[in-house]
Amino acid sequence: MTFSQARTKAILPLALGALLAGCAHLVKPGRPAPPHRAPASAAPTAPAGYTARADVQAFINKLVQQDGFERSWLEKILGAAQKRDSILTTIAKPYEAKPWYQYQPLFVNDARVQAGVAFWNAHAALLAEAQQRYRVSPAIVVAILGVESFYGRQKGGYSVLDALATLSFDYPSRSEFFQGELEQYLLMCREQHLDPLSLSGSYAGAMGVPQFMPDSYRKYAVAFGGHKPPDIWNDWADIVGSVANYFHVHGWQPDGLVAVPAALPAVIARPPATFAPTTVGALRADGVVTSQGLADDTPAMLVALQLQDGTQYWLGLNNFRVILQYNKSPLYAMAVYDLAARISEARALAGPNAPS
């Protein structure tokens, strides 16, 4: 089943009714200046701020011992990092905390659909090449780039160093994760002779058009355009190839479903847990109604989307799980799937004379 077929079935009222009756345009973004490559001596000369803290000194000790960094370099770099209160405010109120009916229009809208169609048309050969190598649908790659940065238009304006330092040392609930990302960022900069103060990204430290965190960049970014290191800021080949490689490594099934509609009867003895890994059979046993074409042992999760006047249910399948590896929010995964379906439909409706 194609993205468009799945979505069409999902949005037809008759389809959901039947379930219940069973029991109940893109301008290519300007090429920003490439990341500045600078000698180590370009770092600031006076440690301050963060380096006065005991937890930061412990972090520096770890990187000196574990990764072979020079202490003086780390102290100069981290001494230049600044705490950004705006980052802490933003991360405390993420988009994913919104209900679906408010979240969806932020990312699934006519502007992103038309931009996605234009991007696909402009890069069709590249997307096809990536599909052949990595066996990942062009639609999902295009949708990811649409949701993440609106095809390079919205890559974030925060210093990556500031973002990662702020969240590493002033956001206790996820300090371990962000200290790991800060370590990966400093390793990336050392490997590529980059000035750590030169790169910008999201409030969480995500970088480039696909918004890779530093760990993901080091693991999954590929030089699909043939020039190393991978350039996910300016090189569309590397951008497309890196996203496709990410999904390939995480188990994307080329012919697999992402999600299918589901329903719950008006009266149900034991409402099943939502967003929890389980199987289709277990969900059926709990009263969930869905396509009979799915085997009971199919891994799945029940996805509940809050509408203004009720709740819409889906079963997220393997490829839904793979999207969750990119961002753990089920709302994000559903928005990517929905945008991919709408872009596929819009491009197909443009007809045989559409650019290929």
99-119 pLDDT per residue, tens: 999 999 999 999 999 999 999
Backbone angles phi, psi at 261, to 5 degrees: -65, 150
Rounded to whole angstroms, the Cα distance separating 77 from 194 reads 12
Rounded to whole angstroms, the Cα distance separating 150 from 118 reads 12
With helix as H, strand as E and coil as C, how does 123-156 read? CHHHHHHHHHHHCCCHHHHHHHHHHHHCCCCCCC
User: How many CA atoms are closer than 13 Å to the CA of 267, on its beta-carbon side?
Assistant: 0
Note if the bond before 229 is cis, omega within 30 degrees. yes
Q: What domains can be seen in the chain, in order of their start residue?
A: 3-26+98-148+252-349 (1.10.530.10)
Q: What share of the chain is helix, strand, coil (3-state, %, to 5)?
A: 55, 10, 40
CA distances from 290 to 13, 100, 164 (A): 15, 21, 43
For residue 30, give both structure tokens. 């300007």
Let me know: does 184 contact 212? Beta carbons within 8 Å: no
Q: pLDDT value at position 37?
A: 46
Share of the chain above pLDDT 70, in %: 83
Q: pLDDT value at position 350?
A: 86
- Averaged over successive runs of 10 residues, the pLDDT of the chain (356 residues) comes to 47 35 34 42 51 95 97 96 95 87 96 97 97 98 98 94 97 96 97 94 97 98 93 97 98 96 80 88 92 93 95 96 96 98 95 53
Which helix (DSSP H) or strand (DSSP E) does residue 241 occupy? helix 236-249
Q: pLDDT value at position 354?
A: 55
Q: pLDDT value at position 265?
A: 83
pLDDT tens, residue by residue, 223-251: 998 888 999 999 999 999 999 999 999 99
Burial of 317 (0-12, 13-18, 19+ CB in 10 A): buried
Let me know: does 264 contact 230? Beta carbons within 8 Å: no
CA 287 to chain centre: 32
Q: pLDDT value at position 3?
A: 53
**What pTM does this model have?**
0.85
Q: pLDDT value at position 273?
A: 85
What sign results for the dihedral spanned by CA atoms 192, 197, 200, 203? positive
pLDDT tens, residue by residue, 144-192: 999 999 999 999 999 999 999 999 999 999 999 999 999 999 999 999 9
Using left for φ > 0, alpha for ψ between -120 and 50, and beta otherwise, residue 222 falls in beta
Backbone angles phi, psi at 234, to 5 degrees: -130, -25
* Count of CB atoms situated within 10 Å of the CB of 240: 30
Beta bridge partners of 37: 194
Let me know: does 215 contact 187? Beta carbons within 8 Å: no
Residues assigned a catalytic role: 148
